[in-house]
Amino acid sequence: MPNPKRRHSKQRTAKRRSHDFLVPTGVSECPNCHERKLPHRACPKCGTYKGREVLAVKSEA
């Protein structure tokens, strides 16, 4: 079986992992209630999308 010829240095590991990071989700602002929301989706807080499209929002309980 083939084996590694050389020791793998910490630098090499670190360099490879330099691209392994998480990217924050894109978040947009609801034009109605100014809450943070996901883009292209109805606002879960106030239930609006593009000014109308009111979905049932649970206010109590």
Residues that bind another protein (CB under 8 A): 38, 40-42, 44, 49, 52-53, 55-56
**Cβ of residue 21: shortest distance to another protein, in angstroms?**
23
Eight-state DSSP code of residue 49:
B
**Amino acid making up residue 55:** L
**Cβ of residue 3: shortest distance to another protein, in angstroms?**
36
| Nearer to another protein (CB atom), residue 5 or residue 52 | 52
Contacts of 31 (CB under 8 A, 6+ apart): 51
| Nearer to another protein (CB atom), residue 13 or residue 28 | 28
Q: SS3 of 52, please? A: strand
